[in-house]
Each structure stands twice: as structure tokens, then as C-alpha cells.
Amino acid sequence: MKISDIGEFGLIDRIGRTASRNAKGAPIGIGDDAAALVLSPSSTLLATTDMLIEGVHFDLETTDLRSLGWKAAAVNLSDIAAMGGVPRFCLTALGIPPSLSVEDISEFYRGVNACLRKFGTVLVGGDTCASKQGFVITVTVLGEAARKKIVTRSGARPGDMIFVTGSLGDSAAGLELLSSGSGVRGQGSGKTRNSGTRRLIEKHLRPVPRVNEGGKLSAAGIASAMIDVSDGLSSDLGHLCRLGGVGAEVFARRIPLSKELRSAKGLKKTPVEYALSGGEDYELLFTVPPGRIKKLKALPLVATEIGVITIDRSMRLIDELGQGSPLRAAGYDHFRSGRRRGPVR
């Protein structure tokens, strides 16, 4: 069987089945934003790792090394945030191609450490190898959470309302603008871009993980389920629905879109399309039972209600006229689509 027949998520399910079930001390198992490992009756270690590969996730024509370092750290911190945890320690493993210099690697670590510092996390180890082709980056972040405060992907129940922090679609639109403007080093970069375009590109290159927001939601016991939006709203909501055994209705006109995205010129898709299938926003998507909405409103946190969890297991998108249509997971899959996150030459 080809991997493309089952896709990235089918493959992960299979790998998950090879792991021993209900392993002592790992009550959640494989499949959430981070592994939750019980250290003591009250304390849990959260662990997550993400790989970034040159030519697949990024292209050095469209990112500078400092931004790349920031992002490599941020995408991992985001997974800890999505569990409602506090990130503490980081390990970085690099495969370095001959084209990169000592100065390049220093720049990369300026970005890594700036992001880690902002969220109280420290670099404690890793591994360094030569790569024959392409820069390969693996970052692991360890965090902590009180066992009862962890928010998994699987807790959504019918009637829960669906919320998302910040705005969606900016990162994918930023990548498109970056690519069409001949990259960070090419023409059309820097000062010649307008401020809206620059902000969309910034969101792509240096996403800010929602660590503070995830922490607040978990501390106040508000969210029934949570995931970070790394693959696009349709895919990540799909994970919440599948793991919760539920469905969802999303109201298209409620999806939060930034004014920069709404007014951007020369994009190939509509803002809602970027939000649904673009990915790499690293916002938090979470569900809240109706009885906890008051508590949520009392928090200092910007989140938009975009829909409701349903008992029927399908996902539907409701348009401006109130017409519903099936909402299919259309985000990134490493093995299924020809689509890639970064422009690849």
C-alpha cells in the first residue's frame, strides 16, 4: 500500500496502534497536540516535537534564518499551549547542509532563543549533524500542567460552542504574498511593501504561539477541547470532531479575518478559503460548554465564537444566506496532496 493511499493522518493512526495501549503514565496516548506523561499524582510532563525540512516546510529564499529559528520554536510552543500547559525546556536537533555558515546558525539561534525567552522556556540540549542536502530542523519542547487542567482534543460535546483566538488565514496569505514578491531577499521586499502586506508576511514568518491564552483557558477550566490551528481550520476542527465523536456547524461570516487579509490585493483565494485550508496560523481552536460562556467572557482574552458542536458527526459550513454545505478537511497532508506549505523550486 502506498502511503498516499492513507495519508499523513492514516499513517499516524497506524503508528499509534503499534504503541502499547494505556501505557502506564501516558493516559492520553498518541494523537493529541502533545503527549501528557504523569510524573506524580498532581503533575504532568507535556512533550511535543515538530520537524521542519527545507523545501517542504520552508525555503531559504522566502525566510531569513532568524525568523526560521523563531518559527521552529513557536510551532512547538503552540502545541504545549494547545494542551493548556506551561512550556519549560527545549531541545533542538539540526541537520546542517554545507551551504550554511556559522553566522547563519547563530542567526537561527537568535530567533530560537528570542521566542523561547518570550515564553519562559530554555534550550537544554539537542543534536547536530551534517546534512548532504537541505536544512533539517527538529525541535522538542517539554512543558508542564496540573493533571486535571490539561485540555485534550477529544472533549467536545454536542451543544458546545466553538471559539478561535486571533484571526485566521493571515499566514497562508502572507506566504503567497512573500512568494509572489520574490522572497525576503528579492525585489518587492522590505520598504516597498505596504504595511498590510508586511503584517501578513510577519504572521507567516514569526507566528506568536498562544501560550498565555491557552494557560488562561486551562487555569479557569473553560475549554472542553482544544487544538492549535496548524493545518487550517477545516482540518483541525476535523481532528476535534473525529476525536470527540461529534460534528460541527461553522458560520462562514463569523470566521475572524484580519483587516489586512480582507484588504490584501492580488491573492488567488478568498479570505475565508485561506482561513479554512491555509494553515500555520497557530491560533487556538477550542470548545466551551454553554454553562461556561460567562466565565469565558470575563477573561481578558480575544476569541471569536464561530460555530457549534453537533451530535451528527459531519462538519457543515453555513453561508451568509444560512445555507449549509459539507465542510471537508482541506488542510495540508504531507502524503496526500501535491500542495506544499512553502514554495519549492
Kindly list the residues in this chain that would bind Mg ion in the complex (CB under 5 A).
33, 79, 228
Q: Candidates 6, 26, 30, 293: give the one binding ligand ADP (CB under 6 A).
A: 30
Residue 3 binding ligand ADP, by CB under 6 A: no
Q: How many CB atoms lie within 10 A of CB 124?
A: 12
Q: Candidates 33, 59, 107, 249: give the one binding ligand ADP (CB under 6 A).
A: 33
Question: Given the complex with ligand ADP, which of 151 and 308 has the nearer CB atom?
Answer: 151
Question: Given the complex with Mg ion, which of 59 and 79 has the nearer CB atom?
Answer: 79
Tell me how far, at minimum, the Cβ of 272 lies from Mg ion, in Å: 22
Residue 51 binding ligand ADP, by CB under 6 A: no
Question: Given the complex with ligand ADP, which of 50 and 213 has the nearer CB atom?
Answer: 50
Burial class of residue 280, CB neighbours in 10 A (0-12, 13-18, 19+) = buried
Residue 283 binding ligand ADP, by CB under 6 A: no
Question: Given the complex with ligand ADP, which of 254 and 340 has the nearer CB atom?
Answer: 340
Part of the chain binding ligand ADP (CB under 6 A), chosen from 25-33, 163-171, 315-323, 328-336: 25-33
Residue 158 binding ligand ADP, by CB under 6 A: no
Question: Given the complex with Mg ion, which of 176 and 228 has the nearer CB atom?
Answer: 228
Residue 32 binding ligand ADP, by CB under 6 A: yes
Amino acid at 130: A
Contacts of 262 (CB under 8 A, 6+ apart): 271
Task: Please state whether beta strands 86-96 and 35-38 pair in parallel, antiparallel, or not at all (unpaired).
Answer: unpaired
Helix axes 170-180, 195-205, angle to 10 degrees: 110
Cα–Cα distance, 278 to 104 (Å, whole number): 29
Residues 40/32, Cβ–Cβ less than 8 Å: no
Q: Which does 121 bind (CB under 5 to 8 A by kind): ligand ADP, Mg ion, none?
A: none
Helices (H), 119-219: 170-180, 195-205, 211-219
Q: Candidates 44, 50, 115, 229: give the one binding ligand ADP (CB under 6 A).
A: 50
Part of the chain binding ligand ADP (CB under 6 A), chosen from 31-39, 128-136, 184-192, 304-312: 31-39
Q: Candidates 3, 12, 298, 344: give the one binding ligand ADP (CB under 6 A).
A: 12
2's grid cell? 502506498
Cα–Cα distance, 105 to 65 (Å, whole number): 8
Dump the DSSP string for 99-143.
T--HHHHHHHHHHHHHHHHHTT-EEEEEEEEE-SSS-EEEEEEEE
Residue 281 binding ligand ADP, by CB under 6 A: no
Positions that interact with ligand ADP (CB under 6 A): 12, 15, 30-33, 50, 79, 230
